Structure 1
Amino acid sequence: MKKIMALLMLAMIALMPSACAQDIGDVNGDDSISIADVVYLFKHRGVGLDVGDLNCDNSVNVVDVVYLFKNYDTFRDPVVFAENFEMDPNWDEGYCYIVDSQENKYVLLQAGATDPQIEGATVLDVPSTSIVTMTNAPIVATADILNVDYCYESIKGMPNTYTKYSDELLQRYDDGLIVHTGSISEMDYEAVASIDPDIVFLSYRVQQDAMEEKLDELEILSCRCHVYLEPTFMGRTEWIKFGAAFWGIENSDTIEDYFQETWQKRNELLRTTANVDDYPAVVSFSWSSSTDMATIYGAQQFYNKMANEFGGEFIFNDVPGTSTVRLDKETFYERAQTADVCILRSYTDVITKEDLLAVNPDFADFESFKNGRFYVTHSDSYIDETKDPIGFMDDNARMIHPELFSNGDSNLKYHYKIQ
């Protein structure tokens, strides 16, 4: 599909925040970001796309110089992408200040450091030694990314359904070291109270609003993590910084390096897809066989914004926000049946055409089914997208524009190509 919105896409890219740490914005390599980098880039245009193409338009030119000049101050901000938490790391002074998705404030204080006395903030000693998480993100995946014993040891309680996503946590659960604390929608408060946790991590789900209220009554500290309401995938990924902060300063460099690698890959994919002429119509959705209805996220949610960023056009761009929206069959079919690319988010493995048509036989009439561009996520992809955001982004770019990549969409990591 040809798209008149090409200029709007370029404008969107120009307005997107650039590097959130020095690895990219530090053009001259002096471990800082300042006007000196602007001057250096002006004089040295041959620095390479990975260093100088700050607006991701697949070239290094005066536009990047101007972009750096206008934004070099903001490049140094500790949090750029995530919109549902705030973070001000002051580890050189022994603490990190964090605000969660419900405006709850915390000072994470290293041993021996002085409390900065921030009004309204709860002080927590770090590294935390007793954590309960009622959501997979960001704690479960961050623990696996860090792969440090004391991080795993601090996780004392979680729904047992999440333990299967981490070999180490599953072993600890089987060994009786992790307590089953209920489900994503119903907490076992006795089990949580028996742990006496430093903090309980909760998600954006409405059922967990009641959990927060009950934990307040029990005088148990909780923290809200609206990871899935982030409007960008980099914002969703940046929650690993939030999770890692509760384990203290020791992991900050590891997590920053991990985040930088992800950011660089995202820029590489933007450059790869920057100059396409065809913008395939894309729909990302889940399907309920019991209700015969589709569920999508609003156009500002990260799955759908990723489709737009990587040279596609989400077919429900007129549906605002980041929350889920249920669509009746007729409304959904009106656009989805003719979409070039369909990406079904599934929590069971749907691998073959027969598997897919067992979910909904009407998918056989979809254009994407006929042209071989119907994809289904692996059942645990929502864990994989945090542990390996680079692989997840690469999958999405390949599904939208397989012609731009060697091997096309034939070797996806976290999606099945229905064929």
Structure 2
Amino acid sequence: MKNGKEQKLKYAQGFSISQQKDYTCVTVFNPWKKGEIYARYYLVKDAGTTVPEDGKKIEVPLKTLAANSATYFEFLQMLGELDKVTGVCSAAWIYNPEILKRVRIGKIKDLGDSFNLDIENLLILRPQAVMTPAYNAEDENSKKLVQCGIPVIYNIEWQEQSLLARAEWIKFVGAFFDKSALADSLFNDVEKRYKEVSSLAQKAKNRPTLMSGQDFRGTWTMPAGRSFTARMFRDAGGSYFYENDTTSGSISTNIEPALINFSKADIWVGVQAGSLDELSKTDVKYKLFDAFKKGNVYNYNKRMNATGGNDYWESAVARPYLVLSDMIKALHPELLPGYEFTYMQKLK
């Protein structure tokens, strides 16, 4: 491939965009095997354009798209391309009101479970491409997707190590709609807002300690030290037991080590319960944590609809400054006196 003009990325490590004379080359890197390419796309405006054979040719702007994850909706909405979505997965778990409306009136087809897509209906729908998180390219579902001949666009923003890196994937999505300039502009605004809020947190006089999640069937999953969540805890002016851990993703533990390491934590975030009473009924040992005793426990369920669609898993990816503001409000309420929580809420 000829050396074209590389688009500058500030935070994202998982992809690159290079502008060539006749096409745009979008490369997705393999997060599981360093240095390897996971997928390559050649974006053309004329189907007759000749491109190298080491990638998939896709004509842009896309007119139709099946979205295998709800995390793309806010990017598409910001870019003004939400109406291009013709297929989604597990519609009952979606929050975005416009998507739900279009499912109801039959403009969007529900293709079922994202791990077991309804390939028959997908083939009838025949979108120009399917965007998917690529949890595992070797699974049967991914193999079927590739075999059905519809281009598969792998979007792995969830593997990034900061909220801003995840949000920068709007540039990746924008490229497939020939809206790179708009995506750049939108991201610059997101970055500016995030930095403004983060700089406010650095003025805090103390760093409250926090813990995350809860035990589920004997396993308590907590953010690893190099995960985007742990990075956000730092940006919000919090202190986190695993912040010096050098792995990304998550750490699996259980309630006994959690009690040893987090019993004195000031704030507890990311529980699934709706009240302290409900939380204690799942495990009476939760009452031993200081955060529980003081009532400083939060979930991310403020923006949920009746069927369980949660906006935290949708718009928060594209608007990290709101997630950060929520966390600062919980850790340092005096810094954001007039701010109302967007996604988080305190358990009663």
Larger radius of gyration: 1
Mapped contact 2:56–2:151 kept (Cα < 8 A): no
Contiguous gaps of at least 5 residues in structure 2: 1-5, 31-37, 305-309
1:273 to 193, 201, 211: 201
In structure 2, the residue matched to 1:416 is 345
> Given the alignment of the two structures, is residue 145 of structure 1 paired with residue 73 of structure 2, yes or no?
no
In structure 1, the residue matched to 2:86 is 156
In structure 2, the residue matched to 1:122 is 56
In structure 1, the residue matched to 2:225 is 299
Mapped contact 2:210–2:268 kept (Cα < 8 A): yes
In structure 2, the residue matched to 1:400 is 331
In structure 2, the residue matched to 1:326 is 252
Letter in 1 for 2:153: C
Q: TM-score, normalised by structure 2?
A: 0.84
Mapped contact 1:137–1:227 kept (Cα < 8 A): no
Distance change in 2, residues 1:362/1:407 (3 Å): farther
Could you tell me the percent identity over the aligned residues?
A: 19
> Given the alignment of the two structures, is residue 105 of structure 1 paired with residue 40 of structure 2, yes or no?
yes
In structure 1, the residue matched to 2:276 is 353
Shift of 1:235: 0.7
2:131 to 182, 194, 201: 201
Distance change in 2, residues 1:333/1:134 (3 Å): same
Shift of 1:263: 0.8
Mapped contact 2:28–2:40 kept (Cα < 8 A): yes
CA distance in 2, matches of 1:260, 1:232: 16
Q: Secondary structure at the match of 1:390?
A: helix
CA distance in 1, matches of 2:286, 2:186: 38
In the TM superposition, what whole-angstrom CA distance separates every residue of 1:225-272 from its partner, at most 9, and x where no partner exists? 2222210000111112212221223xx344333212221122112321
2:241 to 315, 320, 334: 315
In the TM superposition, what whole-angstrom CA distance separates every residue of 1:192-237 from its partner, at most 9, and x where no partner exists? 2222232212214248843222222333321222222210000111
Q: Secondary structure at the match of 2:221?
A: strand
Q: Secondary structure at the match of 1:223?
A: strand
Letter in 2 for 1:392: V
CA distance in 2, matches of 1:352, 1:205: 32
In the TM superposition, what whole-angstrom CA distance separates every residue of 1:293-337 from its partner, at most 9, and x where no partner exists? 311232111111111122222212354422233212212222122
Q: Secondary structure at the match of 2:341?
A: coil
Letter in 2 for 1:325: I
2:24 to 96, 106, 109: 96
Alignment of 1:118-267 (within 5 A): 118=52, 120-138=54-72, 140-146=73-79, 148=80, 151-161=81-91, 164-206=94-136, 209-249=139-179, 252-267=180-195
CA distance in 2, matches of 1:337, 1:191: 50
Mapped contact 2:204–2:237 kept (Cα < 8 A): yes
CA distance in 1, matches of 2:63, 2:240: 43
Mapped contact 2:7–2:16 kept (Cα < 8 A): no
CA distance in 1, matches of 2:118, 2:29: 23
CA distance in 2, matches of 1:389, 1:294: 25
Distance change in 2, residues 1:217/1:384 (3 Å): closer
CA distance in 2, matches of 1:222, 1:207: 11
Q: Secondary structure at the match of 1:100?
A: strand
Distance change in 2, residues 1:402/1:307 (3 Å): same
Count of residue pairs brought into register by the alignment:
328
Mapped contact 2:209–2:239 kept (Cα < 8 A): yes
Identify, as 1 or 2, the structure richer in helix: 1
In the TM superposition, what whole-angstrom CA distance separates every residue of 1:152-207 from its partner, at most 9, and x where no partner exists? 34322111336732222112111222222121221111122222232212214248
2:317 to 386, 396, 402: 386
CA distance in 2, matches of 1:296, 1:208: 26
Mapped contact 2:70–2:94 kept (Cα < 8 A): no
Contiguous gaps of at least 5 residues in structure 1: 1-75
- Which one has more relative contact order, counting CA pairs under 8 Å at least 6 apart? 2
